[in-house]
Amino acid sequence: QQPVQSPQAVILREGEDAVINCSSSKALYSVHWYRQKHGEAPVFLMILLKGGEQKGHEKISASFNEKKQQSSLYLTASQLSYSGTYFCGTEDAGGTSYGKLTFGQGTILTVHP
């Protein structure tokens, strides 16, 4: 079962902040985040592996609450280049899905000048 992302879409002005959430019904080993611009390949942003872990990448950071089976992606002081569709990919805990990611349906982020 695929993770659920929210919101489905968000529109921002440059400089505003956004949060994208990813929730799973299963216990998770890891969460990956990717960004895909229209007509292009997805690009890796970050992996979160442990409960409560937070990582950063420029002005984009993420957290992973293992207990709640959720991850959130934080985009601060958004730039025009942040526009695109953001996907979370989750790997189930338990070992039977070793290396296998299940992706959410995506969140479309649009940043206006």
Q: Residue 33 is inside which H or E element, if any?
A: strand 28-36
Q: Which is nearer to other proteins, 99 or 113 (CB)?
A: 99
Cα R_g (the chain), whole angstroms: 14
Residue ranges in contact with other proteins by CB under 8 A: 2, 29-30, 32, 34, 40-44, 47, 87, 89, 91, 98-106
Least gap, CB of 38 to other proteins (angstroms): 11
- Cβ contacts of 92 within 8 Å, gap of 6 or more: 24, 26, 27, 28, 29, 100, 102
Q: Which is nearer to other proteins, 2 or 17 (CB)?
A: 2
Q: Which is nearer to other proteins, 78 or 91 (CB)?
A: 91
Least gap, CB of 51 to other proteins (angstroms): 17
Cβ count within 10 A of residue 111: 20
Q: Which is nearer to other proteins, 33 or 82 (CB)?
A: 33
Least gap, CB of 104 to other proteins (angstroms): 6
Q: Residue 57 is inside which H or E element, if any?
A: strand 53-57
Least gap, CB of 90 to other proteins (angstroms): 11
- Cβ contacts of 66 within 8 Å, gap of 6 or more: 27, 28, 50, 51, 52
